[in-house]
Amino acid sequence: MNTQEKFYIGGQWVAPQGSDKIQVIDPSNEEICGVVPSGNNQDVEAAVAAAKQAFKTWGQSPAAERSELIKKLSEKVTANMQKIGELCALELGTPLQTSVAVHGGMGVGVVSSYIDVPFEMEKEEQLGNSKVIKEPVGVCAFITPWNFPLHQIVAKVMPALAAGCTMVLKPSSDTPLTAYYFAELMDECGFPPGVFNLITGPGRTVGEAMCTHADVDLVSLTGSTEAGRRVAALAAETVKRVGLELGGKSASVVLDDADVAKAAGIAGGSICMNSGQVCAALSRLIVPRAKHGEAVAAAKAAAESVTVGGAFEEGATMGPVASKAQRDTVVEYIQKGIDEGATLVTGGTTPPDGRNTGYFVQPTIFSDVRTDMVIAQEEIFGPVLAIIPYDSEAEAVEIANDSIFGLSGAVWSGDDARALKVAKQIRTGQVSVNGGAFNIAAPFGGYKQSGIGRELGPHGLTEFTEIKSIQL
């Protein structure tokens, strides 16, 4: 069992102020796989003080120094990609092979993508008699979720490091083990004491103390829209910068000239990636009414080809959801879809293959879904796909935009130009055209209630910079 007894504060592993503990549960078998400390306000005070002190020098450090340390971290993360994947598989439940490739691989990619970004901070702009420069925003508080235990951390930590910010990280209590391992790698790289600090604990105490702390200049949260509203309200008390990467109910729009079977098959399989626990998941499939049956058959076949199993079971392609609470939530949504009158194509509320141990959910497809149904409007965060028919291209776009969210989307067409035209009409932060791959160097974030700001790549640096005009 992975037991952690200390926090990483000021470049040292220090004892927590309290004695409370958090048990980490392996979702594949419901057994305890780790224990970490549960912090309190005093721990937050210590971590923020360390970050504030470190900012005095780190915030003035040369870009070359920051770049060199990020390069060292990239090498460390790359060399330990297997270990990262194993930890994510253990505490999240993603099948090992996928976990190494996705959770480990994305972590490697994001960290490596920031090696040269610090030099962006040294670029200046001359506007008339003004010199416009960039400076780091200061001390940052990071609150990260459980669905991508490393990726969601480095998406915040890396641009902050590149900018010259210091930080306090509070990872999810469901998946803190990967965060602890990342802290060990940070320590091995020799970052100045206090630049990066790690504490664990409940959001309602530790998280809220971070959000309201007067010495925190920016709060960045990835989580639910409800959590985002709470963080924004708390941060407003001290008028600090806020970055929010929140929920989604993203649509995959299949136009009438597309290969419907291909698009629907991909949708039926991709909704099972990470057990559907992906904020940008394409959980709505919008198809021409005349081809609804073809789409349903393809999505059904794809979902039923998924092999559900424990993270370390041979051949498993989809693991459990992350926790009992999450399983119960997903099952409630499936029952809601049935009650609302959607057609249950495959899956359902019972565990797959009689698995009564572990937090398993069947890959589930609904057809004949109406836009006013709960399963068409609310984020389920599980392997559940809603297929919605339409009668015209204009209606398809209207359905896609009929959401409080705007994080991701997709368009399929036999004509790339037509697909691009439709993609520009969808009110989301990113859209994939005809299967365009996710790009870790491109800005990621949402419209509407999917959040505020952008992460990843050079654009991710913007959140962590202040712009200063010097009049000459």
Neighbouring residues of 424: CB distance < 8 A, sequence distance ≥ 6: none
The alpha-carbon radius of gyration of the chain (Å, integer) is 22
Distance of CA 357 to the CA centre of its chain: 27
H helix or E strand, kind and range, residue 9: strand 7-9
d(CA 225, CA 198): 24
The partner residues of 14 in beta bridges, in order of sequence, read 7
Instruction: Please tell me what DSSP assigns to residue 284.
Output: E
Residue with tokens 């067409």: 413
Distance of CA 450 to the CA centre of its chain: 12
Residue with tokens 């141990």: 357
Phi and psi, residue 275, nearest 5°: 60, 30
Q: Report the residue count for the chain.
A: 472
d(CA 26, CA 11): 30
Pairing assessment for the beta strands 139-143 and 218-222 based on DSSP bridges: parallel
Burial 142-172 (b: 16+ CB within 10 A, else e): bbbbbbbbbbbbbbbbbbbbbbbbbbbbbbb
Q: Is 165 a catalytic residue?
A: no
Phi and psi, residue 224, nearest 5°: -75, 160
Neighbouring residues of 57: CB distance < 8 A, sequence distance ≥ 6: 192
Alpha helix positions (H), 99-190 = 105-112, 151-163, 177-189
Phi and psi, residue 388, nearest 5°: -120, 125
Q: C-alpha angle with apex 439: 434 to 442, nearest 5 degrees?
A: 115
Q: Is 279 a catalytic residue?
A: yes
Choosing from 86, 91, 245, 379, which is the catalytic residue?
245
Instruction: Please tell me what DSSP assigns to residue 101.
Output: I
d(CA 395, CA 440): 31
Choosing from 88, 189, 211, 279, which is the catalytic residue?
279
- The beta strand positions in 226-383, using DSSP E, are 241-245, 250-254, 282-288, 343-346, 364-367
Neighbouring residues of 383: CB distance < 8 A, sequence distance ≥ 6: 271, 272, 275, 276, 303, 306, 318, 330, 347, 361, 362, 363, 364
Residues annotated as part of the active site = 245, 279
